[in-house]
Structure 1
Amino acid sequence: MAMKVKEVAELASISVRTLHHYDEIGLLIPDEVTSAGYRLYSDANLEQLQQILFFKELDFSLKEIKNIITNPSFNPEEALNMHRLILLEKRQRLDQMIATIDRTVLHVRGEIKMTAKEQFEGFDFSQNPYEQEARERWGDHAVDHANQKLHNKSTTEQKALSDQMNEIYKHLASLRHTEPASAEAQAGIQEWYTCLNLMGSYSPEAFRGLGQMYVDDERFTRNIDQFGDGLALFMRDAMAVFADQNK
């Protein structure tokens, strides 16, 4: 059902004046205007507004947002999934750095002994395996903005998701010497598929493609294989079997 401008403003927690401005600059044009001049927004308009506000939260200018979302090649789902992956990778690294700080405090107190390598865990800022793909997709400027902020999730939620991902990686690492098509391996890779679909929307074929990237892109391989040598290759093969079995 079409919504009036005031209703949309209240729904999205923005001002009516903002919606009028978006219309005036051609960023968000309502699908219908009544004979009395009332703007009516369709479901498609609301979806577009969500995208606009998403990019605006990342500090994109309105001009940049318009250029991105009006590009014929723009895929809203792809944009959301890519940004989520970048943020999750960043969050995982931050969690690791926090853990390093906690261990370092104990090290300074003399309660534990850290190796030189352990003292610098989490400090490699060059290893977000999703950044290059995003840079190629939307350009450096877009990714620079995407790296500036984390979404407003609670610390508890962030920690829970990070812990879940790490536990799955560890479990799969323990299975990496088994056959990728074995029931145990497929049960483990099913957990990974389910986890990824909490963050985005992956078809079995997209899941297969992601697995191939784990091997083709050394940044993926390096990050994944920290849980066990050969894990990236094992996951690629297991994800391919999963895709074949779930066509």
Structure 2
Amino acid sequence: MMTIGGAASLVGISVRTLHHWDAIGLVVPSGRTTAGYRVYSDADVARIHRVLVYRELGIALSGIAAVLDDPTADPQEHLRRQRAELTEQIDRLQGMLKAVDRMLDAGGKGIRLTPEQQSEIFGASWRTEWVDEAEQRWSGTPQWSQYAERAAARTPDDWRDLTTEVESFNTDLAAAFRAGTTPGSLDANTLAERHRATIAEHFDCTHAMQVCMARNFTPEYYDHLAPGLTIWLRAAINANAATHGLDPETARWE
């Protein structure tokens, strides 16, 4: 038999925790000394270990008690289930670790292209300092983390493909505007979704985020393709968002 202090030290938890588990009936020590002190048997300690495993899996204490006290429960099946969930957690953490490694490999900025490659792929008007400015503004946000991770994994050919997609979208966008396409029409909504898809290549973009971005559009964004196109695209984005149940006037970055 083991005192409460000895049991707590053995499993790496506090005496206070064991007192709490005793009070709620989760782990009740099997015996007491003649002086009335709690003492734990080997079976009690084994139960503590099982509680700790379930707790690490995120199961509430009430749920753990239900599992451990179920007379029809198969201990081996519970262990297999625990192992499967732990394996899933390990896989998820390994994926996160690889993502962090890719971001570190990219120097935090994501684009693994030389200045010459950036100019060749993105065009003569591209400025490498734009990445630094974006990092200063958005660093630390979930969207920047996604951008940096995805950018770090891309090859020069991947960037060329993305640039080609954007150029194709811009061509179709300007053509629709010149043809008098009405914001809110099926064709305009399709273009609004294509615009959102180009953003989603870099980070997950909701309709609300797209609307918030469109609020900050200035003429140099799209008016070089056709005068007035920037305002038209903003209207198309807002109309498309409305069809998805979003009020463009109250949309927030979420």
User: TM-score scaled to structure 1, two decimals?
Assistant: 0.47
**Relative contact order higher in (CA < 8 Å, ≥ 6 apart):** 1
